[in-house]
Amino acid sequence: MDKLYYRLRIYRSVVGINIKEVLAYNFWFWSQIGAHVLLTIAYISFWKALYSERDTIAGLNMQQTLTYIILARIVMPLVQWGYTQEFGYWIREGTISSELLRPVDFQERIYIGHLTRTFISLAQQLIVVGSLALFVFKISLPTDPLVWLSFLISLLLGCSILFCFDWIFGCIAFYSTEVWGLQVVRGSVLLLFSGVLLPLTMLPTELQTIAKWLPFAQSVSVPVSILSGMTPLSELDSIWLQQLVWLGVMFMLSRLMFNFSVRKITVQGG
Amino acid sequence: MLRYLKLYWYFVIQRFKILMEYRLNFFIGSISTVLFQGASLVALWAVLRQVPSIQGWTFEQILLIYGLLTLSKGINHLFADNLWVVGRDYIRPGQFDRFLVRPINPLFHLLADRICHDAIGDFIVGLSLVSYAMVQLQLPINLASIGFIILMVISGGIIFIALNLITAATSFWIMDSIAVTNVVFHTNEFAQYPLTFYHRSIGVLLTWLVPYGFASYYPASYLLGHEIGWMAWLAPLVALVCIMIAYKVWLLGLRNYGSTGS
């Protein structure tokens, strides 16, 4: 019991530090939001132009697609980056050695920080992009609290799956010591196969199959489809089950991969 | 002038020596832009294969616009990428003073300090898209059309550089300009598609305030034979005006520069 209390106390400060870190870079934050909003306007206009001459594309009508797109834009900043850069930094600067010496589990601590950032970012995006959707584009967001709750659970699972994947992916940096290239590959694959650019059902079937076997869709397409009403709530059981299986596998692999590859580290000058 | 060309060549050689030390990074940098843009283009294709056209624009026609914009962006990326970080990497750490005590133009020195080879990716994507679109659309490929494209791409590149120069100059007042540049630069994403897709105000904005439209939509319309009159030939003039204003702003900032102390 005491031990649990001790851990909770540590995590409370991890959460606090992450909140402070996010809020410290105010100017940069607004700039990012500004650029994101501009791009969102461009996207929405593109899709509106696309629908101006027809009622459905790939079986989706304009309202469905626009709702999906705007919600995907809200989720996108949450999943964009991953942890390759951090892994590179920890190794290059050698801070990994002191990180590993701390009395709490390394991955767990980073994960708590990651979730804090994710949900702050979600709140910010909901406020900014959400009001853009409501007031400028007149796109109605769902009002049923049950749908929102299901979305949040699915998003939490999806972001955890992606986190474990990024952990595995980041471990490659132990071998390659090259992170920019890894980042680029991850970013491009995510762009196409996560569903941030378009509803995945619009992709050709072969690409849809690939998307299904990659973890990226779990964090964007799956939760956003629930929230935009494309996935009926009756399918939730099987979706959550799938996500839990994904999470279980990814988590095990991430532990194995990290414990295995951490032995490879050479800290320069350490 | 000749002296500056020689100097520039010297800077390029030095840069390549650095790059060749890290060959893997050189390669990855070059293909990084190709990968990112490839992903967006596949998504665009996936949507547009299901419809014949959007408001009269076909997939190939949109690719032509996209390709022209990418080429102009590549020019900016290659020659003027250092403008992004003038605040963070030069002014804040006091590195900028180095330029002021040397007998060459500080702006020239800043730009020549880092030629960004990642732009190779932009040129690969842009050239492939423009040639693919020209062939598919059966547009005439002759000296006149190639000359027109080169003129427009250079003008577009100068427009990109001018806008980045203006936003970069703000760092003389606010130390770090990346956030400002970031917002203004990203308005170019509107110019990836025909300006007619947007609300009228966005079209006006992209033509007269942040004139990225001259790097893509207007030259593409001319090549496709759309009736846009003298707007087709305005890009060089717009580029000239932009770069002159930008250089004035830069000089104004430079006069305001007070270094970082000690």
pLDDT digits (tens, 9 = 90+) for B42-97: 999 999 998 888 999 999 999 999 999 999 999 999 999 999 999 889 988 888 98
Per the CB < 8 Å rule, is A207 touching B193? no
| Residue of A201 and A175 predicted with greater confidence | A201
Average pLDDT of chain A?
88
CA pair distance A72, A222, nearest whole angstrom: 10
Average pLDDT over residues A202-228: 94
Average pLDDT over residues A66-72: 94
Lowest average pLDDT, out of A69-78, A88-97, A116-125, B209-218, goes to A88-97
Chain A touched by B197 (CB under 8 Å)? yes
Closest CA to A27 of B256, B167, B178, B185: B178
Phi, psi for B139 (deg, rounded to 5):
-80, 150
> What distance in Å separates the CA atoms of residue A10 and residue A109, rounded to the nearest whole number?
9
Residue A141, pLDDT score: 84
Residues 6 or more apart in contact with residue A218 via CB below 8 angstroms = A157, A158, A161, A162, A243, A246
DSSP A134: I
Give the residue-averaged pLDDT of A21-35.
Answer: 79
Distance CA A66, CA B189 (A): 19
Give the alpha-carbon dihedral of B172, A35, A131, B206, to 10 degrees: 100
> CB contact, 8 Å: B32 with chain A?
yes
pLDDT score for B124: 94
The Cα of A105 is separated from the nearest Cα of chain B by a number of Å equal to 33
- Alpha-carbon gap, residue B241 to B99, rounded angstroms: 26
Average confidence (pLDDT) over A175-204: 88
Average pLDDT (B107-121) is 90
Share of chain A above pLDDT 90, in %: 49
Contacts of B196 in chain A (CB under 8 A): 49
Mean pLDDT of B129-147: 95
pLDDT winner (highest mean) among A16-20, A84-88, B50-54, B80-84:
B80-84
Q: According to the model, what pLDDT value does residue A266 have?
A: 65
CB A100 within 8 A of CB A234: no
B259, with CB counted inside 10 A (0-12, 13-18, 19+), is: exposed
| Residue B153 to residues A183, A227, A238, B160, B184, Cα–Cα distance (Å) | 30, 43, 52, 10, 20
Distance CA B247, CA B148 (A): 26
pLDDT in tens, A129-166: 999 988 888 888 888 999 999 999 999 999 999 999 99
Element (H, E) at A57: strand A56-57
What confidence score (pLDDT) does residue A270 get?
46
Q: With an 8 Å Cβ cutoff, is A62 touching chain B?
A: no
- Determine the Cα–Cα distance for residues B231 and A1; give it in Å rounded to an integer: 75
pLDDT of residue B169 exceeding 80, the answer is: yes
Mean pLDDT score, B8-31: 84
Tokens found for residue B97: 């003073």
Closest partner CB to A38 (pick from B25, B38, B189): B189
The reported pLDDT for the residue numbered B261 is 55
Tokens representing residue B30 in the block = 């070059």
